[in-house]
A and B are shown apart, each in its own frame.
Chain A
Amino acid sequence: MITESLKLSDIISHNILLVPVLNRFGIRPGVGEKTIKLVCSQQGIHLKSFLAILNTYNSQSFFPEAEDVDMTVLVQFLRRTHTYYLDYTLPRIEKLISQLAIDCPGSKPLAVIESYYSEYKKQLTAHIEYEETDLFPLISRLLEKQTGYTEKADHFSDKIQHEHVNVEDKLSDLKTILIKFLPPSVNENSASELLFELSRFEQELLDHARFEDKILIPKLAKMLKVKPERHG
């Protein structure tokens, strides 16, 4: 378990996959000998939320406590995560698939995979846009107490959880099919790079969805339900 007294450099050495997660807090490698506590206080990062997020990404068995996570920090983190997916991960996977297709001109499986992925990318982008334009602004308004109870909350919960399962499953299906049916003529290094990237993204999406389903949505529901009683 990652605690505040540990050195950030040790955490990164131990799990290099945390680097992109740290980036979303404005932390980049070149962290010196500082402990997590010091880095957080120097950069004005909410320590408990930071630890909860880092631990969730670091271990599948870790389950964050809702009260440890500050809603504003979480929404900002999720927004940056979305940007990372839209600007980096999704285009990168697309590029890797296109590269495989270029290497094997006229391959039917790759053409089909390209179009599957392009559909997938559209779907995930739409899901992210929905959260960015509908869900997060609602949370901000609630936090600033500009709005109270709204019927919308119940829709959010079901819709979002359902869509999460769907985007995770579709990505996992793509990986399964690539493993089984990539044409033997593809460049082996490009193929393994693509599989690495897909696996990593699959895991990221699971962790990301865990936050939204288990922390964000319940916290939102609570905010929405508590309001009318207090004001009513």
Chain B
Amino acid sequence: MVKQKVVVVTASAIIQKGLADILLHSCDVVVSQFLSDYAEVALLSRLKKCILFVDLQFVVHQHLEVNTLKRNGNAVYLITVNASAELPGGPIDGVLQLHDDMPSLQKKLAGIFPQKPKSDFDQAELTHRETEVLKLVARGNSNKEIADTLSISLHTVISHRKNICRKLDIKTISGLTLYALINNLIN
């Protein structure tokens, strides 16, 4: 799947930085381009099938029209103070209000960027096999010994260990042993 190109059109540093940060953290979307002055407006005509976040202030100042912006299949979202803002030259795809709080902004953005189903893999409990490996690690066995005991390859043992450390957020063997003791996996 081709990743959607996102372009922010504004001269405002606050909007540029703020929107880029929110997009990254809320939607895992990286802004591909910022257009912030007259010279760069010429680049607009080259954009195809992009999502444009356009500052109303900038549009008015540069005398831009919606049909120019939407040419080549771009989607246009207006950044403005007023929710019912409109632009000359046709309908826009949506509005982000400058005074939106985070939840309402995230709701709007979720409509624009359909969220990937959240993986709960990282939070998942250890699998039965991982618990077996953890017990053996905590008892001081080497990777080779664990591989022999469980009749699995060394590579698989290492992969289990990586997953255990990631899931539990524990980095050392002593830490894994402490975890196993506290949770009564070993005595």
List chain A positions with a Cβ less than 8 A from chain B: 108-109, 112-113, 116, 119-120, 166, 169-170, 172-174, 176-177, 181
Contact = CB atoms under 8 A, between A and B. Distances in A.
Classify the interface of chain A: helix, strand, loop or mixed: helix
Nearest to A110: B182
Contact of B182 (A166, A169, A181): A181
Interface in B135-187: 168-172, 174-175, 178-179, 181-183
Contacts of B174: 116, 119-120, 170, 173
A119 B173 CA distance: 13
Interface residues of B, number: 12
Contacts of B179: 177, 181
B172 A177 contact: no
Chain B CB count within 10 A is highest, among A108, A120, A173, for A173
A174 B171 contact: no
Contacts of A108: 182
Q: Closest 4 interchain pairs by CB?
A: A173-B175, A169-B171, A112-B181, A109-B182
Contacts of A170: 172, 174-175
A176 B169 contact: yes
Contact of A169 (B168, B172, B183): B172
A14 to B, nearest CB: 24
B151 to A, nearest CB: 30
B165 to A, nearest CB: 10
Contacts of A174: 175, 178
Interface of B: 168-172, 174-175, 178-179, 181-183
A173 B182 contact: no
12 contacts: A119-B174, A166-B172, A169-B172, A172-B171, A173-B170, A173-B172, A173-B175, A174-B178, A176-B170, A177-B178, A177-B179, A181-B182
Nearest to A109: B182
A166 B172 CA distance: 8
Given A113-B178, A166-B172, 7 more contacts: A109-B182, A112-B181, A119-B174, A170-B174, A176-B168, A176-B169, A181-B182
A120 B172 CA distance: 12
Nearest to B179: A177
A108 B187 CA distance: 11
Contacts of B171: 169, 172-173
B134 to A, nearest CB: 13
A116 B174 CA distance: 8
A93 B99 CA distance: 46
Contacts of A113: 178, 182
A166 B175 CA distance: 11
B70 to A, nearest CB: 42
Contacts of A173: 170-172, 174-175, 178
A177 B174 CA distance: 11
A75 B168 CA distance: 37
Contacts of A109: 182
Contacts of B170: 173, 176-177
A70 B175 CA distance: 37
B169 A112 contact: no
Contacts of A120: 174
A169 B172 CA distance: 6
Nearest to A167: B172
Contacts of A181: 179, 182-183
B158 to A, nearest CB: 18
Nearest to A172: B171
A124 B177 CA distance: 18
A169 B175 contact: yes
Nearest to A168: B171
Contacts of B172: 166, 169-170, 173
B124 to A, nearest CB: 15
Given A173-B170, A176-B169, A176-B170, A112 B178 contact: yes
A191 to B, nearest CB: 15
